[in-house]
Amino acid sequence: MSIVSIDLAPLQRADRWRVAEWAFWLLPVLGYFVFPDNLVLLTQIAITALFCLSLDLILGYAGIVSLGHAAFFGLGAYTAGLLASHGWGEPLSGLAVAALASGVLGFITSLLVLRGADLTRLMVTLGVAMMLFELANKLTFITGGVDGLQGIEMKPIFGTFGFDMVGKTAYWYSMVVLFLMFWAARKLVHSPFGLSIKGIRLNVARMPALGAPVNARLAAIYTIGAAYAGVAGALMAQTTQFVALDVLSFNRSAELLLILVLGGSGSLYGAMLGTIVFMAAHHVLSDMNPEYWQFWLGAMLMLIVLFARDGVMGGLRTAAARLVPRKLAAP
């Protein structure tokens, strides 16, 4: 019998940080110095990127389609906002409580979402978000309704870094939270749990035959995704010190799906890049033509879906594969 040992290095190195990744995470530092006048926009990008990351976990990795992910974003925003407007202005614990609230809602709704196939899931997620939207709309005495939730006053982070008018603190706060949560998500997708989630997306019928409890795994990732979205919403409430009713809107859920498809799902970085491209395009296009900017956005989306599968991330991968011969790229 010949002994051909398998080189296990590619698998063992799969989770190593690459140079391009380190370079990517220098962007927040770069952005701070290059666009000092646009910190508010960059903060919004970071928050949306975190929100998009949460959708990537459930859609890109686990394959659960959702048209109502704003439910968790909105709940997180209202939770953090309400805490702060009632005197609990400490930001970090606010994030934690928001994550918990959205996570609990995620877990409860996962029991409904997991019952059906894709179309059912779209409708159930949509329905949950619609119900929350109308609740927030109706319960004016709690949420402020269409006028939005006001009177949010944040205490300094760690009791030291107060939220300033230019948005420097908000900027670094959001970037650090995004990075830490990205880091944790990256850990997650490279773990055995992450592999099993991918397995479920790739072949849901096979997983039980391997001994995997599919529904429990899906409930877990859906709960985690919901908690992530809750943190993003909470960041939004804390950094803008305001919660508008549209945090729960259908538009927000749909736009998020668009961003993820644009960036490329199932790679974490696709969510990041999609958000950057989308928000930058939004900014530039709506500057040029405030009323019709969505026209170009629609065109861009169609081109990507039809001709560049896996979005921006897929395009970059193809480009990298052409530039660098395969053997060099995969050591």
Binding track over 278-307 against other proteins, x by CB under 8 A? ------------------------------
CA 158, distance to chain mean position in Å, is 25
Q: Which is nearer to other proteins, 255 or 310 (CB)?
A: 310
Does position 328 interact with other proteins (CB under 8 A)? The reply is no
Does position 23 interact with other proteins (CB under 8 A)? The reply is no
Q: Which is nearer to other proteins, 117 or 209 (CB)?
A: 209
Q: Which is nearer to other proteins, 166 or 210 (CB)?
A: 210
Distance CA 127, CA 133 (A): 10
Does position 223 interact with other proteins (CB under 8 A)? The reply is no
Among 43, 47, 21, 19, CA closest to 32: 43
User: Which of left, alpha, beta for 65 (phi over 0: left; psi -120 to 50: alpha)?
Assistant: beta
What letter would DSSP give residue 56? Answer: I
The pair of structure tokens assigned to 205 is 């019928």
Distance CA 289, CA 120 (A): 38
Does position 203 interact with other proteins (CB under 8 A)? The reply is yes
Binding track over 56-75 against other proteins, x by CB under 8 A? --------------------
Binding residues for other proteins, rule CB under 8 A, total 37
Distance CA 293, CA 282 (A): 7
Q: Which is nearer to other proteins, 137 or 191 (CB)?
A: 191
Smallest distance, Å, CB 245 to other proteins?
35
Among 10, 17, 20, 11, CA closest to 323: 20
Binding track over 153-192 against other proteins, x by CB under 8 A? ----------------------------------xx-xxx
Q: Which is nearer to other proteins, 215 or 249 (CB)?
A: 215
Smallest distance, Å, CB 275 to other proteins?
24
DSSP 24-35: HTTHHHHHHHH-
Does position 6 interact with other proteins (CB under 8 A)? The reply is yes
Q: Which is nearer to other proteins, 10 or 151 (CB)?
A: 10
Task: Please report, as a single letter, which amino acid is at residue 188.
Answer: L
Does position 196 interact with other proteins (CB under 8 A)? The reply is yes
Does position 111 interact with other proteins (CB under 8 A)? The reply is no
Does position 316 interact with other proteins (CB under 8 A)? The reply is no
Distance CA 112, CA 92 (A): 31
Among 76, 82, 171, CA closest to 163: 171
What residues contact residue 168 under an 8 Å CB cut-off, 6+ apart? 39
Does position 218 interact with other proteins (CB under 8 A)? The reply is no
Distance CA 84, CA 237 (A): 9
Q: Which is nearer to other proteins, 150 or 203 (CB)?
A: 203
Q: Please say whether the beta carbons of 190 and 14 come within 8 A.
A: yes
Positions touching other proteins (CB under 8 A) are 4-8, 10-15, 187-188, 190-196, 198-199, 202-203, 205-214, 216-217, 220
